[in-house]
């Protein structure tokens, strides 16, 4: 799963519990679990039923947007973009009203909660704008997001889910702009970002496992492969049917260059994809191309050719194909040509 810029916030649906803010109800955890397991239709149905019953709260709008964000990531498209942005705009508008025109004086914890939701909504919008190539809008929304998340933890330092967003921001901002880290006024905050994400995980935040998911990719980027594997193992143990979690686990072995283990992990991922009722053929395509590349690195031309032929012989619906899908097919053709030449040269 690709991280696009330092201002992207790939948040899970998150919230906090305290004595003055109601504890998160069961439907929130249910929507998170359904989303992680790519059961998007069920997750949407759950939230749609709440709305039909009269729930127009910040929470239900936010979690619905979270489901749509994960759904678009899974299918590698922006089909739900209009609904996604409308829901987030509602979150921002409702938060603004409650912050600026409260019916009763707000406690610090209540203000923190509103800053958190508004900041998370801006973070999602920043990510979406980046996906659409609107970099100026993405930058502005990203700044709004980080300001609100900082305000949230200043108002309530126990709102541990907010530390995830801040940590992700600090890490990727430093990584994407590392070419200027030598400047004295631009500090490298990668270690600080990792520490904040761990703080969210260690305090058992509602978004704990999505925080771990983020952390795996960050640790791999940072070169801490052993630590990344520890978290990746926990993810597939907790969610053994999650395509998202198996991608992280398989990618960890790929980055560690433990290719036999990577082969087993990607084959397991393919099994999970095959049993996914909301499977995406682009995920299947990607996993086979990864296996073709891994076998190529292992010097196993026959198996590499097999996986290339698997993806190149399949017909794909135009509705399913994505830009990344075409790029993967191009890569498969390149690998196939290289490996067939090797096989031919051995037979001479």
Return d(Cα 147, Cα 112) in angstroms, integer: 12
- Taking 50 as the threshold, does the pLDDT of residue 1 lie above it? no
Please report how many Cα atoms fall inside a 13 Å half-sphere around the Cα of residue 309, on the Cβ side.
Answer: 8
- Report pLDDT for 20: 34
Six-digit token string for 74: 């899974």
pLDDT reading at 201 higher than 70? yes
Binned at pLDDT 50, 70 and 90, residue 8 comes out as: very low
Question: What is the pLDDT of the chain when averaged over all its residues?
Answer: 90
Lowest mean pLDDT among 13-27, 174-188, 227-241, 288-302: 13-27
- 8 A C-beta contact, residue 185 and residue 200: no
Taking 90 as the threshold, does the pLDDT of residue 214 lie above it?
yes
**Looking at residue 13, what DSSP letter applies?**
S
- pLDDT tens-place string over residues 256-303: 999 999 999 999 999 999 999 999 999 999 999 999 999 999 999 999
Is residue 56 scored above 50 in pLDDT? yes
> What does the pLDDT read at residue 162?
93
Q: Sorting pLDDT into bands at 50, 70 and 90, what band is 63?
A: very high
CB atoms under 10 Å from CB of 323, counted, come to: 9
The CA distance from 11 to 124, in Å, is 7
- Provide the pLDDT for residue 270: 98
pLDDT single digits (tens) 87-137: 999 999 999 999 999 888 999 999 999 999 999 999 999 999 988 889 899
pLDDT class for 212, splitting at 50, 70, 90?
very high
Query: Which residues make Cβ contacts (< 8 Å) with residue 21, sequence separation at least 6?
Result: 109, 110, 113
pLDDT digits (tens, 9 = 90+) for 228-252: 999 999 999 999 999 999 999 999 9
Give the CA distances from residue 124 to residues 69, 81, 128, 199, in Å, rounded to whole numbers and listed in that order.
8, 11, 6, 22
Q: Which is more confident, 39 or 173?
A: 39
Determine contact, residues 249/236, Cβ cutoff 8 Å. Answer: yes
**Band of pLDDT at residue 185, cut at 50, 70 and 90:** low
Residue 153 has pLDDT above 90, yes or no: yes
Q: Which of 172-181, 302-311, 326-335 shows the lowest per-residue confidence on average (mean pLDDT)?
A: 172-181
- Alpha-helical regions (H) of 182-322: 190-202, 208-222, 225-238, 243-255, 259-274, 281-298, 301-312
> Is the pLDDT confidence value at 174 over 70?
yes
Mean pLDDT within 160-175: 90
DSSP state of 183: S
pLDDT at residue 135, as a whole number: 87
The CA distance from 261 to 89, in Å, is: 44
pLDDT band at 182 (very low <50, low <70, confident <90, very high): low
Residue 69: closest CA among 26, 121, 114, 29? 121
DSSP type of residue 5: -
Q: Are 291 and 313 in contact (CB under 8 A)?
A: no
pLDDT at 184: 59
């Amino acid at each position: 799963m690709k991280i696009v810029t330092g201002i992207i916030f790939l948040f899970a649906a998150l919230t906090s519990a305290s004595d003055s803010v109601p504890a998160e109800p069961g439907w929130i955890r249910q929507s998170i679990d359904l989303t992680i397991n790519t059961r998007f239709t069920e997750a949407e149905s759950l939230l749609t039923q709440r709305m039909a019953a009269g729930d127009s709260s910040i929470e239900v709008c936010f979690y619905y947007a979270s489901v749509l964000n994960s759904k678009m990531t899974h299918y590698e498209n922006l089909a739900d973009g209009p609904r996604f942005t409308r829901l987030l705009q509602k979150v921002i508008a409702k938060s603004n009203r409650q912050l600026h025109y409260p019916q009763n004086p707000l406690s610090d914890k209540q203000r923190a909660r509103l800053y958190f939701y508004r900041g998370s909504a801006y973070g999602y919008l920043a990510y979406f704008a980046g996906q659409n190539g609107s970099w100026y809008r993405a930058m502005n929304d990203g700044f709004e997001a980080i300001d609100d998340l900082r305000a949230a933890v200043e108002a309530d330092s126990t709102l541990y889910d907010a530390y995830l967003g801040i940590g992700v921001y600090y890490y990727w901002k430093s990584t994407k702009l590392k070419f200027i880290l030598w400047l004295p006024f631009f500090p490298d905050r990668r270690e600080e970002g990792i520490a904040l994400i761990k703080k969210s995980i260690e305090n058992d935040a509602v978004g704990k496992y999505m925080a771990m998911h983020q952390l795996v990719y960050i640790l791999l980027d940072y070169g801490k492969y052993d630590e990344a594997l520890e978290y990746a193992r926990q993810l597939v143990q907790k969610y053994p049917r999650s395509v998202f979690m198996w991608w992280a686990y398989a990618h960890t072995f790929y980055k560690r260059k433990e290719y036999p283990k990577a082969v087993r992990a990607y084959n397991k991922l393919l099994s999970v994809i095959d049993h996914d009722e909301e499977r995406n053929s682009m995920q299947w395509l990607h996993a086979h191309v990864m296996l073709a590349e891994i076998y190529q690195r292992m010097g196993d031309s026959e198996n590499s050719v097999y996986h290339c032929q698997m993806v190149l012989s399949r017909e794909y619906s135009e509705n399913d194909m994505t830009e990344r899908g075409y790029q993967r097919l191009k890569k498969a053709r390149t690998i196939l040509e290289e490996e067939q030449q090797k096989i031919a040269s051995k037979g001479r």
